[in-house]
Amino acid sequence: MNCIFCAIAAGDVPSASLYEDGRVAAFLDIQPLAPGHALVVPKKHAAKLEDASPEDRRAVMDAVAMLAPILCKETGMPDATIAIHNGKAAGQEVAHLHVHIVPRKPGDGAGPIHAMFPAPQKVPSEQLHDLAVRVQGALSRRR
């Protein structure tokens, strides 16, 4: 497998490392959207969130929760956008689960997630309800 994030997590490719433990690695993005833009990845390869073990998902999110306020404080930003692009159609460019932490400040021009799309969709409440019922059914079949 030729995965850049696996290579970074293994220490085979240099990075501006922020944090590492037995399950995760965190490092600064080489094409940052803002000062302090970091990535948190599981060390064990998983292409998408659902491909990672529950333990790796927890470890990744624990690291995100620990790092986000530190990155914000150290960059002088009050908040952060935390994002996962889960699959190519969702904008994932490296097929290895990674969570972006992007420190943010008011007026930085990035905007909310809704700014990524041309316009919010108008969906009838019946369609929302029908989808909710289908998802609840699928979840109950998994138990």
Q: Can 129 be counted among the known catalytic residues?
A: no
How many CA atoms lie within 13 Å of 112's alpha carbon, on the beta-carbon side? 3
Burial code (b: 16+ CB inside 10 Å, e: under 16) for 106-134 equals eeeeeeeeeeeeeeeeeeeeeeeeeeeee
Cβ-contact 82, 64 below 8 angstroms: yes
Which among 98, 100, 114, 129 is annotated as catalytic? 98
Question: Which residues are known catalytic residues?
Answer: 98
